[in-house]
Amino acid sequence: MRTLEEAAREAAGCTRCRLSGARTQVVYGVGDPHADLMFLGEGPGFHEDQQGEPFVGPAGQLLNHLLGEIGIQREEVYIANVVKCRPPGNRDPRPDEIEACAPWLREQMDLIDPVVVATLGRFAAGVMLDRQVSVTRVRGQKFSVRGRIVIPTFHPAAVLRGGESQMQAIREDFEVLKATLAEPGPEPEPPQEQLGLF
């Protein structure tokens, strides 16, 4: 199996979908390559496309702050997105774009092998859970997806727009993340037919 760095180098030249035509650079991911906790967002925004790192704008600053509140540094987690190139105008990625990028994400998760995947926003939650979801309804809950614990929460950018109630909610969800990481790992799941992306 190749390393995360090797996978990132190959992904940097990806032209599998139309998003490659307008990007500044591929935003593969950043953080501890052996992290127990992985955050998954939707796709790079303007700042991420410019700097080549996910969650570096105001939403990233809030993510760092929330991590600090539960005693975790950004360098201790891994942060990535469903698609690795910025959709024009920050629109939602289209189904064929997600499908084209899915092998990068699957390999990324296999190489990092996180215990917990925290999805940020409805889009990432929907991809991991293989169905459309309301983050308000599923946030803070634990789902088992192919041997990993998936915990959806709000996207930090939505929290910045949403006011104090969403800020309180995402803080509660981060406490769930902290508690879950302190628990023993899940029992291995028996082999099963792959559904959706995972």
Residue 197 lies in a domain: no
Yes or no: say if 31 and 79 are a contact pair by the CB < 8 Å rule.
Answer: yes
Residue 83 lies in a domain: yes
d(CA 40, CA 185): 20
Residue 17 lies in a domain: yes
Domain count, the chain: 1
- Report the pLDDT value the prediction gives residue 146, as an integer from 0 to 100: 86
Q: Using one digit for the tens of pLDDT, what is the confidence trace for 144-195? A: 998 999 999 999 999 999 989 999 999 999 999 999 999 875 554 444 444 4
- Report the pLDDT value the prediction gives residue 186, as an integer from 0 to 100: 52
Residue 190 lies in a domain: no
Full-model pTM: 0.92
- Report the pLDDT value the prediction gives residue 190, as an integer from 0 to 100: 45
Residue 191 lies in a domain: no
Q: Using one digit for the tens of pLDDT, what is the confidence trace for 46-93? A: 999 999 999 999 999 999 999 999 999 999 999 999 999 999 998 989
HSE of 74 in the Cβ direction (CA atoms, 13 Å)?
Answer: 15
Q: Is residue 117 classed as helix, strand or coil in its secondary structure?
A: strand
Yes or no: say if 90 and 81 are a contact pair by the CB < 8 Å rule.
Answer: no
Residue 95 lies in a domain: yes
Residue 169 lies in a domain: yes
Residue 129 lies in a domain: yes
Residue 53: which domain range?
Answer: 4-181
CATH number of the domain residue 138 falls in:
3.40.470.10
Closest CA to 143 of 131, 154, 129, 124: 129
Sign for the pseudo-dihedral over CA of 84, 169, 149, 31: positive
- Report the pLDDT value the prediction gives residue 196, as an integer from 0 to 100: 55
